[in-house]
Copies of this chain bind each other. A is one copy, B any other.
Amino acid sequence: MTVKQLSLPELVDACAESAIPGVGLWREPVRSHGLAATAKLVRDAGLTVTTLCRGGFLTAADPAGRAEALADNRRAVDEAAALGTDTLVLVSGGLPPGSKDLRGARERIADALAELGPYAESHGVRLAVEPLHPMFAADRCVVSTLAQALDLAERFPAHQVGVTVDTYHLWWDDTAPEQIARAGAGGRLHIFQLADWITPLPEGVLNGRGQIGDGAIDMREWTGYVEAAGYTGPIEVELFNEELWARDGREVLAQTARRFVEHVIR
């Protein structure tokens, strides 16, 4: 998504140019390019698919909406397996229209994980519940902190359900470092993502993530937390940003790789 202006073949080429060994894919471009074709494309290029984004949206209260969400998440698991990644990121979903019941919505996510966890396991895929910044609690994700995500995940085996740690969503939380340690100790730190926090936030707040180094987050500090928790997996950079999307995608990817070296690698 950082360079969604690139087609998948362009992305694969650009990753090779910048010596980027892995990529997190989103379902929509994969569907557009074709699942089998995408799997072949990345496999032939020797590019690792780090995660598939995203499943989730599991908070519907009506039986039809619920069944539809579960079916869609099973398809997402199938797609992750076909792409050769072991991790499906879950954005859990917001409040149903008119609802004020955060607790109920969070409980419905647990119910859904109970059904999806074994299905994912049988396909060699782990679910990675992502806490989203509290500003998304109403309309996108009622799981707002890493503690909440772990409270959900820990009801299930670690190889079925873990968490996503994204600096953009967690940087303000002084309890997040100890929760990262908790995630690591439990074998539930499934993926680590970076984005910087810049202001002012744009209308709707979704597409205002900052390039690494442009904002308020100390990337080395957070990388240190996941390393101390034993994390040795890939580090994704996930930027939703209208200005970056308006630029040349190869240039943005190359800049992102340089920023990663400058702000993350010690």
Within 8 A of B (CB), among A140-155: 142, 144-145, 147-148
Contact residues, A245-260 vs B (CB, 8 A): none
A137 contacts across to B, CB distance below 8 A: 171-172, 197, 216
Q: Which residue of B lies closest to A134 (CB)?
A: B172
Q: Which residue of B lies closest to A142 (CB)?
A: B172
Q: Chain A contact residues: over half helix, strand or loop, or mixed?
A: loop
Q: Which residues of B contact A142 (CB under 8 A)?
A: 172
> Are B138 and A216 in touch, CB under 8 angstroms?
yes
Tell me if A100 and B200 are in contact (CB < 8 A). no
Interface string of A97-112 (1 = CB under 8 A from B): 0011111001000000
Closest to A203 in B: B203
Which residues of chain A from 169 to 224 have a CB within 8 Å of any chain B CB? Answer: 171-175, 197, 199-205, 215-218, 221
- In contact, B138 and A135 (Cβ under 8 angstroms): no
A199 pairs with B144, CB closer than 8 A: no
Is the Cβ of B135 less than 8 Å from the Cβ of A205? yes
A70 at interface, CB cutoff 8 A: no
- Is A139's beta carbon under 8 Å from chain B? yes
Do B200 and A201 touch across chains, with their CB atoms under 8 A apart? no
Within 87-134 of A, Cβ neighbours of B (below 8 Å) are at 95, 99-103, 106, 133-134
- What is the bound-complex CA distance between A33 and B70, given in angstroms? 60
Which listed residue (B138, B200, B217, B218) contacts A199, Cβ 8 A?
Answer: B138
Nearest CB on B from A78, distance (A): 32
Report the bound CA distance from A218 to B173 in whole Å.
24
Contact residues of A with B, CB < 8 Å? 95, 99-103, 106, 133-135, 137-139, 142, 144-145, 147-148, 171-175, 197, 199-205, 215-218, 221
Give the complex CA separation of A221 and B137 in angstroms: 17
Q: Considering only CB atoms, which chain B residue lies closest to A174 in the complex?
A: B148
Contacts of A133 in B (CB 8 A): 134-135
Provide the bound-state CA to CA distance between A216 and B101, in Å.
Answer: 8
The 4 closest A-B pairs by CB, nearest first: A137-B172, A134-B172, A100-B218, A135-B135
New contact pairs (4) apart from A134-B134, A138-B199, CB-CB < 8 Å: A133-B135, A135-B205, A148-B174, A201-B201
A172 in contact with B216 (CB, 8 Å): no
Contact in complex: B102, A139 (CB < 8 Å): no
- A147→B145 CA distance, assembly (Å): 14
Contact B217 A100 (CB under 8 A): yes
Chain B, Cβ-Cβ closest to A198: B138
CB atoms of A199 and B102 under 8 A apart: no
Task: Contact check, B216 vs A173: say whether CB atoms are below 8 A apart.
Answer: no
